[in-house]
């Protein structure tokens, strides 16, 4: 097709050598003219990109050697998946999609989450395991509107590490534009961002979302960032029409659903929003009911707050040594993170015991050391 376009549209036509020089360089630069009419440039460059990445120009790529199972296991046996938020909800070196219908509040959700990750503060009573440096790139609302939202959110969140959360409010950023991609790489390299958020997906490309091949090109670029920099990527995306369930509600090609490790799915449920999960590397948490307060910050319903508090206590006990943890220490650790009184924490401890999630260590109690707890 390149040669045909060259003959039909370029005045005068380029030589075959010149065409392949352009092919070799097209993927490295932005969409700019080669002497052809501008309306044909994206198609021309798309094919150049395909050739550059495919069998024609990458025939000599070295993929290394296959590894026998024993060596593969030995190489990774001491490595652990590092979680950022929750037990496997969002990990380092991973990909997450947060989705919902239009105007549901997805951007507020992802900003809430990003601010909490940057600060090391729990979100929706789910633990931020490791405080991380966040870059939030958004292309939907104006800088003034974004400022107004963030100002309100900070009133609910309180003290925030403002140096750890970076905003890029832009228009026209294209993940497939080599110049734009190179600039993004420079930011990640120089600033050390660990989590990069893209809000929303459709603004970061000019491709047909229903095309498997087109979406593969888009998500290959996100994968390239993860492979190079071991970052966590979070993408905001819209739901399509129809009655599909789970991650299949996503608008566009099934490639979008196939790509991710974690899907956080927001759906309207009466006067609240239901959050469901589809996780590749962990068990799915139970659904949550959340509401947006007057300061644009999401909070769990009363019932979910209780469930989350009990789970928090179980996490505290789980993180203790094999010798268990005293009730006094549980109360001290839990009341600060849950934000309730000593008595309420003790009630949650009793409920966790009733549900057989934790147990007392009788041997220690007999020695007069007070009540100690461990996981059942």
What's 110-148 look like in SS3?
A: HHHHHHHHHHCCCECCECECCCCCEEEEECCCCHHHHHH
Q: Of 20-29, 208-217, 273-282, give the lowest mean pLDDT range.
A: 20-29
Please determine, looking at this structure, whether the domain spanning 83-300 carries the CATH number 3.40.50.300: yes
Return phi, psi of residue 375, to 5°: -75, 145
Distance CA 310, CA 171 (A): 44
Structure-token match 């590092």, residue found: 82
pTM > 0.75: no
Topology given in CATH for the domain delimited by 306-375 = Arc Repressor Mutant, subunit A (1.10.10)
- Given a cut of 50, whether residue 212 has pLDDT beyond it is yes
Beta bridge partners of 234: 96, 197
Q: Please give the backbone phi and psi of residue 319, each rounded to the nearest 5 degrees, phi first.
A: -80, -10
Q: What is the average pLDDT across 184-210?
A: 97
229: Cα separation from own chain's centroid: 15
- Report the distance separating Cα 193 and Cα 275, nearest Å: 27
Q: Can you tell me the mean pLDDT for 303-329? A: 82
Give me the mean pLDDT over the 269-298 stretch. Answer: 93
- Judge whether residue 101 has pLDDT over 50: yes
Q: What is the pLDDT of residues 348-366, one digit of tens each?
A: 888 888 888 888 877 555 4
* pLDDT of 3 over the 90 cut: no
> Is residue 43 pLDDT above 80, yes or no?
no
Average pLDDT over residues 369-374: 69
The encoded tokens of residue 43 equal: 């198609």
| pLDDT for the residue 153 | 96
For residue 374, what are the β-bridge partners? 359
Render pLDDT for 224-247 as a digit per residue (tens, 0 to 9).
999 999 999 999 999 998 777 777
Residue 330, φ and ψ in degrees, nearest 5: -60, -45
Domain ranges of the chain: 2-53, 83-300, 306-375
- The C-alpha atoms of residue 116 and residue 340 are separated, in whole angstroms, by 20
**Lowest-confidence region among 122-131, 274-283, 291-300:** 122-131
* pLDDT of 36 over the 80 cut: no
CA distance 315 to 120: 16
* pLDDT higher than threshold 50 for residue 190: yes
Q: 110, 109, 120, 134: which is closest to 85 by C-alpha?
A: 120
Q: What is the pLDDT of residue 15?
A: 67
Angle at 229 between CA 51 and CA 89, to 5 degrees: 110
pLDDT tens profile 107-140: 999 999 999 999 999 899 888 999 999 999 999 9
Q: What is the mean pLDDT of residues 143-171?
A: 94
Give me the mean pLDDT over the 13-30 stretch. Answer: 57
What pLDDT sits at residue 34? 32
Q: Which are the contacts of 328, defined by CB distance < 8 A and separation ≥ 6?
A: 370
Cα dihedral 10, 15, 19, 22, rounded to 10, equals -90
For residues 246 and 253, what is the distance between their CA atoms, to the nearest angstrom? 15
Judge if 83-300 and 306-375 fold alike in CATH terms: no
The alpha carbon torsion through 241, 247, 248, 250 (nearest 10 deg) reads: 40
The better pLDDT of the pair 214, 53 is held by: 214
CA angle centred on 209, ends 26 and 3, rounded to 5°: 35
- Name the range with the highest mean pLDDT among 116-125, 157-166, 184-193, 341-350: 184-193
Residue 327 pLDDT grade (very low, low, confident, very high; cuts 50, 70, 90):
confident
Among 25-29, 188-192, 289-293, which is the least confidently predicted range?
25-29
């Amino acid at each position: 097709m390149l040669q045909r376009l060259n003959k039909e549209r370029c005045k005068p036509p380029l030589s075959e050598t010149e065409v392949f020089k352009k092919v070799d360089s097209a993927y490295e630069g932005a969409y700019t003219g080669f002497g052809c009419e501008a309306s044909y440039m994206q198609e021309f460059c798309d094919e150049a990109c395909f050739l550059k990445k495919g069998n024609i120009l990458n025939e000599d790529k070295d993929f290394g050697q296959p590894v026998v199972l024993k060596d593969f296991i030995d190489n990774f046996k001491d490595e652990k998946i590092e979680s950022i938020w929750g037990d496997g909800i969002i990990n380092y070196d991973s990909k997450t999609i947060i989705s919902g219908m239009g105007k549901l509040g997805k951007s507020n959700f992802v900003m809430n989450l990003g601010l909490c990750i940057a600060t090391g503060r729990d979100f929706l009573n789910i633990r931020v395991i490791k405080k991380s440096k966040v870059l939030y790139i958004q292309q939907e609302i104006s800088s003034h509107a974004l400022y107004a939202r963030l100002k309100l959110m900070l009133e609910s969140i309180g003290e925030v590490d403002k140096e750890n959360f970076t905003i890029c409010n832009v228009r026209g950023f294209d993940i497939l534009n080599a110049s734009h991609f190179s600039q993004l790489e420079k930011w990640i390299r120089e600033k050390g961002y660990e989590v990069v958020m893209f809000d929303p997906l459709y603004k970061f490309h000019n491709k047909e979302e229903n095309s498997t091949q087109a979406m593969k090109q888009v998500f290959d670029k996100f994968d390239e960032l993860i492979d190079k920099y071991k970052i966590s990527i979070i993408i905001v995306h819209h739901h399509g029409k129809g009655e599909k369930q789970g991650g299949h509600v996503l608008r566009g090609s099934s490639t979008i659903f196939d790509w991710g490790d974690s899907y956080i799915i927001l759906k309207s449920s009466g006067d609240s929003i239901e959050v469901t999960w589809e996780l590749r590397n962990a068990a799915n948490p139970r659904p949550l009911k959340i509401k947006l307060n007057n300061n644009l910050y999401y909070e769990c319903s009363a019932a979910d707050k209780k469930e989350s508090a009990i789970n928090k206590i179980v996490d505290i006990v789980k993180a203790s040594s094999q010798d268990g943890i005293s009730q006094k220490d549980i109360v001290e650790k839990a009341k600060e993170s849950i934000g309730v009184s000593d008595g309420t924490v003790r009630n949650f401890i009793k409920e966790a015991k009733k549900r057989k999630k934790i147990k007392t260590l009788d041997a220690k109690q007999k020695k007069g050391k007070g009540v100690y707890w461990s996981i059942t």
